[in-house]
Amino acid sequence: MAKKKPLVVVTRKLPEVIETRMMELFDARLNDDDAPMSQADLIAAMKTADVLVPTITDRIDKAVIAHANPNLRLIANFGNGVDHIDLASARERNLTVTNTPGVLTEDTADMTMALILAVPRRLAEGERLMRSGEWTGWSPTFMLGHRIWGKRLGIVGMGRVGTAVARRARGFGLSIHYHNRHRAPEEVEAELEATYWESLDQMLARMDIISVNCPHTPATYHLLSARRLKLLRPHAYVVNTSRGDVIDENALTRLLRGGEIAGAALDVFEHEPAINPKLRELDNVVLLPHISSATIEGRIDMGEKVIINIKTFVDGHAPADRVIDAYK
């Protein structure tokens, strides 16, 4: 007799090739319209599923986890960050939680590097001008930006993405500086000619460009607070492809409007999808809709990791990408 397939509830629409494979392997319930699930929908899923596959748009809090049915043993997150999942509650309910680390590093680093270039060189402003039809031709002093070659880049969070950004930035002639909870290995510092700053405050006050690449944790909430943002020099730029609430968005907006910071490039926002409307009014800000990891290849790689995590777990083994383990 064939083994019963686990009931897997997927909360958002995934790449077709991934959904097709899930349908082959599991009793998969897909989200064809891609609308984020309400709390009531998530609770209903928890009551019936053997495996839940959520994304960053799903708040899997204590109230949702409390409704987990006895057969639900795994939350296989589609994404690296798990700050939307109450891990303590999951642990209390004896649930294993997995994620999809590593597969988005290069995509996110590519976009970060693009934004590091975009703001000092005023790329978005130039593009808007061309679409407006108001360009009258080249001039020696028209739309002058700033050279990045030879400037100092301060990386906040020297994990996988931060290190990948540093490698790209070296090719553009940037001097690499970083702040991290733990110092990078000596061979990495030597390869990147990177300068470590134990004090974030001291680093911020001396950089030309700041790249935020740390994960969201309680410790990194408003890590770039109003006080710390004021340490930046007036010619400095801020790039964030990490999580919106690592930066005090209101304070950043005030400093940008007042000319106390030269510009910013933001792919993430503190209250997504809501954005401070004053940010939209600023020419010295590039705004993207959370797409730093949005490549077809990356999304497929994420989905394949989710499938491997589920299949490994269902087969009675410990998935490689465990964030927390169920009690044995």
Q: What is the pLDDT of residues 146-181, one digit of tens each?
A: 999 999 999 999 999 999 999 999 999 999 999 999
Same domain, 282 and 300: no
Q: How many CB atoms lie within 10 A of CB 225?
A: 13
Q: Is residue 2 part of a domain?
A: no
Whether 290 is a known active-site residue: answer: yes
E strands within 32-187? 51-53, 74-76, 96-98, 152-156, 175-179
Same domain, 21 and 155: no
Q: Please report, in angstroms and rounded to a whole number, the separation of the first and last CA atoms in the chain.
A: 28
What is the DSSP code (8-state) at residue 155?
E
- Catalytic residue of the set 59, 206, 290, 322: 290
Same domain, 146 and 45: no
Q: Is residue 212 part of a domain?
A: yes
Same domain, 237 and 115: yes
Query: CA 246, 40, 80: angle at the middle one, nearest 5?
Result: 35
pLDDT at 54 over 60: yes
Residues in the chain: 328
> What pLDDT, on a 0 to 100 scale, did the predictor assign at position 167?
98
The residue range of the domain holding 37 is 7-103+296-324
Instruction: Check residue 148 and give left, alpha or beta (phi > 0: left; psi -120 to 50: alpha).
Output: alpha
Same domain, 141 and 281: yes
Q: Residue 188: exposed, middle, or buried by beta-carbon count in 10 A (0-12, 13-18, 19+)?
A: middle
Whether 93 is a known active-site residue: answer: no
The CATH code of the domain that includes 223 is 3.40.50.720
- Catalytic residue of the set 93, 179, 216, 243: 243
Tens of pLDDT, residues 8-35: 999 999 999 999 999 999 999 999 999 9
Same domain, 158 and 222: yes
Instruction: Specify the number of domains making up the chain.
Output: 2
Q: Is residue 233 part of a domain?
A: yes
Whether 272 is a known active-site residue: answer: yes
Q: Is residue 1 part of a domain?
A: no
Q: Is residue 213 part of a domain?
A: yes
Same domain, 251 and 301: no
With 0.85 as the threshold, say if the pTM is over it. yes
Same domain, 88 and 157: no
Same domain, 215 and 252: yes
Tens of pLDDT, residues 75-108: 999 999 899 999 999 999 999 999 999 999 999 9
Q: Is residue 303 part of a domain?
A: yes
Same domain, 123 and 48: no
pLDDT band at 2 (very low <50, low <70, confident <90, very high): low
